[in-house]
Amino acid sequence: MKGLILAAGRGSRLLPISATRAKHAVPVAGTPIIARAVQALRDAGVDDIGIVTSPSSETDLRDATANSGHLTFIRQSEALGTGHAVLAAHAFLEHQPTLLYLGDNLFQDNLTPLITTLRDADAVLGVKEVPNPQAYGVAVVKGGRLLRLVEKPRTPESNLAACGVFAFRPELLEHVAELPPSDRGEIEFPQALTRLMAAGGTVRAVELGGFWSDAGTPDDLLAANTHFLSQQRPRLDGRAERSVLTGNVVIEAGAVVEDSVITGPVWIGPHALVRGATLGPFVSVGAHARVDTARLHGALIDEFARVLHPSRPLSRVLIGRHALVTAPSESGLQVVMGDRSIVRV
């Protein structure tokens, strides 16, 4: 069994956070999305993993997975869709069954059931019950068998969303290779499942019951950050001085917390400095970031960011790398959004 993660897209819905790096490299509760994807495949028993990248995203993804063991990086020369990305990995897949993972997804469930279900099917997809199926590709399923996929229907036939993970036998690649471009000019991998069923193949659906996010928007990232912070185990490898720590708190090696009140779940990354702050719950502070005299709740602070003496509490905020959030200057408010940006509030 091969594992294949598609991570060539930049993520326009996450701009400006994704303007300077691939969205898959953005951390959630201290761990890059792409590293969580790799771990999900390893937890399912898949060790031979390829990652499809773009020329602009490969360096970010290599850095983000530096501690994830051996990986094969495959370059997709043009952004021509998920089907095109799978075909770019044809040589890597070596005519073996594949567990395919769209790299901006995050799952609580173990993915092993997709592999076991493939024993009695030609392909398998993961589905998840959602309250707003019209925003997704909708799977119509009967008795565990996929009948059809409908992309973002106005009137959904079911509330099951296709949620970005598939298992398939190598013969499916023949159908992928025959796909015409979609209306947006891309080769869409899910359409190969429709062709497979039309040819008499069996596609089964595995319903996932736990947390799932496609991490496509800032709100998605914050929700995922909240979920994975809740799953961590308390750990104190850094220093906490004259501070009160309550609940599920992780302070990584090299981090320093001084004169602060921390209410978990909170994650404070390596070599971060938190001073005179009130953090939590649901706050992650990236490596080498600095938080001074601030009150934060429900926040994702990326590496090297600085939150210095803001004049009001900050809630549900996403602050990119090297960004600065501080109090207004004498000239008044200043707002410059994005990585390496400044927000004065």
Give the span between the Cα atoms of 46 and 2, in whole angstroms: 6
∠ Cα 224 319 307 (to 5°): 125
Of 198, 227, 256, which closes a domain? 227
pLDDT at 273 over 90: yes
Rounded mean pLDDT of 15-43? 90
Examine the domain organization and report whether 204 and 307 are in the same domain: no
Burial 124-154 (b: 16+ CB within 10 A, else e): bbbbbebeebeebbbbbbeeeebeebbeeee
Examine the domain organization and report whether 255 and 152 are in the same domain: no
Examine the domain organization and report whether 182 and 60 are in the same domain: yes
Of 227, 255, 281, which closes a domain? 227
Predicted pLDDT at 332:
64
Predicted pLDDT at 334:
57
Give the span between the Cα atoms of 28 and 42, in whole angstroms: 19
Of 227, 249, 280, which closes a domain? 227
Q: What is the helix (H) or strand (E) element at residue 218, kind and residue range? A: helix 218-231
Question: Tens of pLDDT along 282-320?
Answer: 999 999 999 999 999 999 999 999 999 998 999 999 998
Alpha carbon 70 to its chain's center: 20
Examine the domain organization and report whether 238 and 222 are in the same domain: no
Residues of the chain with pLDDT > 90: what percent? 79
Residues of the chain with pLDDT > 70: what percent? 95
pLDDT at 341 over 90: no
Examine the domain organization and report whether 94 and 243 are in the same domain: no
Examine the domain organization and report whether 195 and 52 are in the same domain: yes
Q: In what order do the strands lie in the sheet with 256-258?
A: 239-241, 256-258, 273-275, 290-292, 306-308, 324-326, 342-344, 334-335
Sign of the CA dihedral with 29 first, then 31, 37, and 42 last: negative
Examine the domain organization and report whether 245 and 119 are in the same domain: no
| pLDDT-derived band at 343, boundaries 50, 70, 90 | low
Examine the domain organization and report whether 118 and 73 are in the same domain: yes
| pLDDT-derived band at 22, boundaries 50, 70, 90 | confident
In three-state secondary structure terms, 175 is helix
Question: Tens of pLDDT along 48-63?
Answer: 999 999 988 899 999 9
Predicted pLDDT at 224:
95
In three-state secondary structure terms, 141 is strand
Examine the domain organization and report whether 94 and 199 are in the same domain: yes
Give the span between the Cα atoms of 294 and 39, in whole angstroms: 34
Give the span between the Cα atoms of 186 and 206, in whole angstroms: 26
CATH number at residue 288: 2.160.10.10
Contact partners, residue 40, CB within 8 Å, separation at least 6: 101, 107, 111
Predicted pLDDT at 215:
79
Predicted pLDDT at 335:
57
Label residue 225 exposed, middle or buried (CB < 10 Å: 0-12, 13-18, 19+).
buried
Q: Residue 10: count other Cβ atoms within 10 Å of its Cβ.
A: 18
Predicted pLDDT at 78:
86
Contact partners, residue 294, CB within 8 Å, separation at least 6: 277, 278, 279, 307, 308, 309, 310, 314, 325
CATH number at residue 15: 3.90.550.10
Predicted pLDDT at 97:
98
Domain with 277, as residue range(s), is 233-344
Q: Residue 35: count other Cβ atoms within 10 Å of its Cβ.
A: 20
Q: How many domains does the chain have?
A: 2
3-state helix, strand, coil in the chain (%, to 5): 20, 35, 45
Examine the domain organization and report whether 96 and 160 are in the same domain: yes
Examine the domain organization and report whether 25 and 169 are in the same domain: yes
DSSP 135: G
Question: Taking the CA atoms of the chain, what radius of gyration do you get in angstroms?
Answer: 22
Contact partners, residue 91, CB within 8 Å, separation at least 6: none
| pLDDT-derived band at 119, boundaries 50, 70, 90 | very high
pTM, two decimals, is 0.92
Examine the domain organization and report whether 206 and 249 are in the same domain: no
